């Protein structure tokens, strides 16, 4: 086998359609020599169908990141397909509609708690569930959307992403002694299923396509996926707690 991830075994979450960043990660990972196991929840048959579109059909296991039993059994279920893991990709996020589209001041705690549980706390939960399968040199990589600013319509998901970015730094701190890295990729806006669920998402689209120094393609997931692969590879052995921006340079310019 040859490629950037030759011999690597990866667990990839968040594949819903072939337009998702996670699908692009799984596809490129396989093309670069990795074995891939996918997770799905709710629409498992859909994920299984999408998995067949990869260069090599990938096994799919059910994982609800808010279900303690699913997390407790994750290592055993992954071992049915691979004998260990070298990397975990966290591409999971959800917020009830009350938490998005301008509802920041009115969203009830119950909905906010759901957003934080699924989108933030699950980063740590997934990493710990996979930890028995990992050894020194392993990597956890998550997807974020620049949380240094308050974005119109993003509301509590923005807060959840800020928590995710902090959680990644703390995971880097606590897992570093075991030789495991934790990094995030901050992708610009992409037309995924998740994006379509955000009312007013077109505000992001217009801003990026007009002002990103390198330009921005709203339908090209590959640049973000490539960054994930680089962070999962052995080419960043001393990088952890980092956020790599893949947004055409938008984050670097003034408002």
The residues carrying an active-site annotation are 154, 161
The residue behind tokens 């952890």 is 240
**DSSP secondary structure, the chain, as one string:** --STTTT-EEEE---SSTTSHHHHHHHHHHHTT-EEEEEE-S-HHHHHHHHTTSSS---EEE--TT-HHHHHHHHHHHHTT-S--SEEEE------GGGSSS-TTT--HHHHHHHHIIIIIHHHHHHHHHGGG--TT-EEEEEE--TTSPPTTTHHHHHHHHHHHHHHHHHHHHHGGGT-EEEEEEE-----HHHHTSTTTHHHHHHHHHH-TT---TT--HHHHHHHHHHHSTT-TT--S-EEEESTTGGGS--
Neighbouring residues of 181: CB distance < 8 A, sequence distance ≥ 6: 138, 139, 140, 172, 175, 231, 236, 237, 239, 240
Beta strands at 181-187 and 9-12: parallel, antiparallel or unpaired: unpaired
The CA–CA distances, whole Å, from 132 to 38, 122, 229 equal 18, 17, 22
């Amino acid at each position: 086998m040859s490629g950037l991830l030759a011999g690597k075994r990866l667990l990839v979450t968040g594949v819903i359609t072939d337009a998702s960043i996670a699908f692009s990660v799984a596809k490129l990972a396989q093309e670069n020599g990795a074995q891939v196991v996918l997770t799905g929840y709710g629409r498992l048959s859909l994920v299984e169908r999408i998995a067949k579109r990869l260069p090599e059909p990938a096994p799919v296991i059910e994982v609800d990141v808010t279900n303690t039993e699913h997390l407790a059994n994750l290592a055993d279920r992954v071992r049915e397909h691979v004998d260990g893991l070298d990397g975990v990709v966290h591409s999971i996020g959800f917020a009830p509609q009350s938490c998005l589209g301008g509802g920041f001041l009115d969203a009830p705690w119950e909905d906010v708690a759901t957003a934080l549980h699924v989108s933030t706390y699950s980063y740590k939960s997934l990493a710990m569930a996979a930890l028995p399968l990992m050894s020194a040199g392993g990597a956890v990589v998550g997807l974020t959307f620049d949380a240094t600013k308050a974005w119109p319509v993003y509301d509590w998901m923005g807060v959840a992403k800020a928590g995710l970015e902090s959680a990644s730094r703390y995971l880097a701190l606590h897992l570093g002694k075991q030789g495991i890295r934790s990094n995030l990729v901050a992708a610009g806006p992409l037309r995924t299923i998740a994006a379509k669920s955000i009312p007013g998402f077109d505000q992001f689209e217009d801003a990026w396509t007009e002002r990103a120094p390198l330009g921005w393609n709203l339908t090209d997931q590959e640049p973000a996926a490539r960054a994930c692969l680089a962070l999962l590879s052995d080419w960043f052995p001393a990088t952890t707690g980092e956020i790599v921006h893949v947004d055409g340079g938008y984050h670097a310019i003034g408002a």
